Amino acid sequence: MGHHRSRPGRRTMNTAAHIVVAITPSARVIINYGTGETEMRRLDGRPVAGTVVPIPPTAPTWGTTEARATLAPTGYAPQPWRLAAIPAVLLTAAIRTCGPRRRRFRRLVQLACSGRLLAPATSTQAEYAVRAVRWASYAMPTGWACLEESTAAAVLLALAGRRAEWRHGLATDPVRLHAWLVDAQGKPVEEPQDTLLYTPTYTPDGPGPARRSRRENAT
């Protein structure tokens, strides 16, 4: 990304504020949350400005715990939640589609974090939101995956006046990215057990892990 000259009365974007440098045992993974670009670099390479997130080593999985590429089956969600999930899904789809393609990832991340100042959702509310969004997402095209699904669930909770503990993170062996919701205790909501292998690299609090003190102050 090129350099921008500052203009009087205009704030310039701090590129480093959008970058996470994930340090794995074998490489650095540079995630630019402003552009959606991901790059792998050597550990001994040139330093990169950004938020550093250490990624703990995990036992080899030989590809047996890769993130799902399709939507998971839905569980029970009350009808009001299912009905409210429809506009949440449509809004997420509209934000995803409208605007420059190069900023699609950034738009979805901003949308997923839009309810960060609201009161935290309960575990039941988070479960209902994820289940309802999965129910409403079955008619969506194949490009609708974990990022879009988790964002729509966060939107649904925001419509209910609640903050979603949205997460985007990274796992190794092989390096892969995933987006999901967790409950107030940090447990993944309606996710397979191997989601625990992912280390959060972005939350509603910004780059890096969530700030527990901020979540507690919101209650």
96 and 163 in a single domain? The answer is yes
Q: Count CA atoms within 13 Å of residue 39 on its CB side.
A: 11
Q: Report the number of distinct structural domains present in the chain.
A: 2
What do you get for the CA distance between the two ends of the chain, in Å? 39
Taking only the tens place, the pLDDT of each residue in 18-34 is 899 999 999 999 999 99
- Are 166 and 151 in contact by the 8 Å Cβ rule? The answer is yes
**Domain membership flag for residue 2:** no
- Are 128 and 172 in contact by the 8 Å Cβ rule? The answer is no
126 and 203 in a single domain? The answer is yes
94 and 172 in a single domain? The answer is yes
42 and 85 in a single domain? The answer is no
What single DSSP character describes residue 188? B
47 and 84 in a single domain? The answer is no
210 and 110 in a single domain? The answer is yes
> Above 90 in pLDDT, residue 128?
yes
CA angle, residues 113, 69, 196, in degrees to nearest 5: 60
Average of per-residue pLDDT across 101-129 = 95
Report the C-alpha dihedral over residues 215, 52, 155, 98, rounded to 10 degrees. 160
Cα gap 189→126, rounded to integer Å? 7
- Report the percentage of the chain scoring pLDDT > 70: 82
pLDDT of residue 181: 98
> Above 50 in pLDDT, residue 160?
yes
Cα gap 52→55, rounded to integer Å? 10
**Domain membership flag for residue 102:** yes
Average of per-residue pLDDT across 129-135 = 97
Cis peptide bond prior to 209, omega within 30° of 0: no
Q: Which residue has the tokens 């699904």?
A: 149
pLDDT band at 184 (very low <50, low <70, confident <90, very high): confident
**Domain membership flag for residue 189:** yes
Distance of CA 191 to the CA centre of its chain: 14
Q: Which residue has the tokens 């999985």?
A: 61
**Domain membership flag for residue 5:** no
Taking only the tens place, the pLDDT of each residue in 47-98 is 889 999 999 987 665 555 555 555 566 789 999 999 999 999 999 999 999 9
Residues in CB range of 142: below 8 A, 6 or more apart: none
| Domain of residue 31, residue span | 15-54
10 Å CB burial of residue 100 (0-12, 13-18, 19+) is exposed
202: how many CB neighbours lie within 10 A of its CB? 25
Count, residues in the chain: 219
50 and 83 in a single domain? The answer is no
85 and 27 in a single domain? The answer is no
> Above 60 in pLDDT, residue 133?
yes
**Domain membership flag for residue 3:** no
> Above 70 in pLDDT, residue 110?
yes
Q: What are phi and psi of 154, to 5 degrees?
A: -65, -40
pLDDT band at 169 (very low <50, low <70, confident <90, very high): very high
32 and 134 in a single domain? The answer is no
What single DSSP character describes residue 26? S
147 and 206 in a single domain? The answer is yes
130 and 209 in a single domain? The answer is yes
107 and 204 in a single domain? The answer is yes
10 Å CB burial of residue 59 (0-12, 13-18, 19+) is exposed
**Domain membership flag for residue 123:** yes
